[in-house]
Amino acid sequence: MGHLEDQCASLQARIAATEVQLADLKQELARAQEAVANAQTQKGDHTPAQESQGRSSWPLGPEEYKRYGRQMIVSQVGLPGQLKLQAARVLLVGAGGLGCPAAQYLAGAGVGTLGLIDGDTVEVSNLHRQVLHRTRNVGKYKVDSAIESLKELNPHPTYIAHCTHLTPDEAPEIFAQYDLILDCTDNPATRYLISDTAVLLGKPLVSASALRTEGQLMVLNNPPRPPGDKTGGPCYRCVFPKPPPADSVVSCADGGILGPVVGTMGVLQALEAIKVITAGTSSANQPVTSSTPESPLLHMFSAYSNPLSRTIRIRSRRANCAVCSAEATVTLDTITSGSTDYVFFCGSANPPALLGRDERISALKYKELVSRAESSSDKSPSSKDRHMIIDVRDKTQFGICNLENSINIPITEILASDPSDATPSWVPAQLVEAELDEPVYVVCRLGNDSQLAVRRMKELGLDRGGQRFIGDIQGGLRAWREHVDPEWPEY
């Protein structure tokens, strides 16, 4: 075993070194691409739209009339609306499942300047829903991959890449360059940062979210008004003054997402953005404003419901809102200085370690236990090797892949049980009838839910006052794949 452990350590070290080298290469590529863009600017490169306008007295070029013609003959748009789109500057925060379809339709509609901000790179797991990215671009910055596709769709707009994660100190400077903001992110802390910055800089905000088979959409801070002006549209804090509990936030990686669901929400974001732009004015010195703003609404989409969507009216600005009321405590200074701590406000991004070291076992140690049991000469493992393995993922994930002889008990069933109930319905007969010295190991996908399950099992007294070991496999099935079985499905 010592040789195998040394080999694993060596491979891990080589992987870490390769990842560092890859990160350096990506940074070098980004600098080179920036240098190319600067060189093109210095040469005075012009977009097709600029060249056509220079040769004609018509406000749009011949190709643009053909390109946007079907859109311009819609009465709500017309030529004036198309010119407003051409003059608009729109920022999309996030180039993932929401940002890709939103950017695609805004570029197709002829929005003059599209900025994309995202610090992530393209992964294979993104491709089923993030429709601007291609297999050949795996490992490339998402904003660069997205802009590559957008230029093929429409070369007329100006595309601006912000290859970084949005931070409080940079947000105001970036947002100030745009007229309208689209929140295409997936975590609460960033949502509050985006909304606060948009309100304080007078930018309307189109916010959407999607998870599993459901989505939500809102147009916020529309019309944009200074803090304390009750005629302004509500902000994200007005709708959600308190963030959800940190341990209740589920990401797409954990909860899953159906591609067309997040695509629908992204397309609706683009639609609402076009409505905001074409309904008001847009110039270099005046932000987008709506002349006849609609009442603030929350649109909720559910793929497996009938009807598919419903809409509810949301309240106007809160009198005690921390950012858009007369009693505002959040300012641009508190944002850029870090006094407004979004991570603290929304809770820790990293789940705490709930179990002690003596309550956990590594994936390698568990593999050793299984191997000893399988190699027993009489095929009847000794009492020290007999054990029970419980998988607390949901039934769908368990059906994708599972460890041999594991019992599936979803974490939702375990947590929903009453601690005062000595034997909840989810407790399998094997667990009740098992010998006292037969340990119980709990596994999940990442090693977080398994800790909660162990805690609840002990609260229910299933460890028989400490006579039976109940613990989890540290790092979950991800660790199993990394340290034991590299062919284990990664989803």
Q: How many residues does the chain have?
A: 491
Selected catalytic residue, list 100, 252, 346, 401: 252
Q: Is 8 annotated as a binding residue?
A: no
- The number of beta carbons lying within 10 Å of the beta carbon of residue 314 is 15
Burial-class residue 26 by CB neighbours within 10 Å (0-12, 13-18, 19+): middle
Name the residue among 89, 52, 46 with its Cα closest to residue 68: 52
Contact 105, 132 (CB under 8 A): no
Half-sphere exposure of 456 (CA within 13 A, CB side): 23
Helix then strand then coil, % of the chain, to nearest 5: 45, 15, 45
- The DSSP code for 244 is P
Q: Is 408 annotated as a binding residue?
A: no
Q: Which tokens sit at 215?
A: 């989505």
Cα separation, 486 vs 478, in Å, equals 10
Cα separation, 225 vs 229, in Å, equals 6
Contact 150, 120 (CB under 8 A): no
Lookup result for tokens 């007329």: 156
Q: Is 97 annotated as a binding residue?
A: yes
Q: Which tokens sit at 427?
A: 């407790």
Q: Is 324 annotated as a binding residue?
A: yes
Q: Is 129 annotated as a binding residue?
A: yes
Residue type at 374 in one-letter notation:
E
Q: Is 259 annotated as a binding residue?
A: no
Distances (CA, A) of 304 to 2, 212, 214, 341: 52, 11, 9, 38
Q: Is 401 annotated as a binding residue?
A: no
Name the residue among 111, 59, 109 with its Cα closest to residue 89: 111
Selected catalytic residue, list 100, 163, 184, 444: 444
Q: Is 447 annotated as a binding residue?
A: no
Cα separation, 165 vs 168, in Å, equals 10
Known active-site residue 444: yes
Known active-site residue 252: yes
Cα separation, 256 vs 210, in Å, equals 10
Name the residue among 252, 251, 296 with its Cα closest to residue 276: 296
Cα separation, 379 vs 397, in Å, equals 30
CB within 8 Å of 252: residues ≥ 6 apart: 97, 186, 210, 211, 262
Burial-class residue 126 by CB neighbours within 10 Å (0-12, 13-18, 19+): buried
Q: Is 346 annotated as a binding residue?
A: no
Q: Is 127 annotated as a binding residue?
A: yes
Q: Is 118 annotated as a binding residue?
A: yes
- The number of beta carbons lying within 10 Å of the beta carbon of residue 299 is 17
Q: Is 235 annotated as a binding residue?
A: yes
Contact 195, 187 (CB under 8 A): no
Catalytically annotated residues:
252, 444
Query: Residue ranges for the binding site?
Result: 97, 118, 125-129, 142, 186-187, 235, 238, 321, 324
Query: Residue ranges for the binding site for Zn(2+)?
Result: 235, 238, 321, 324
Query: Residue ranges for the binding site for ATP?
Result: 97, 118, 125-129, 142, 186-187
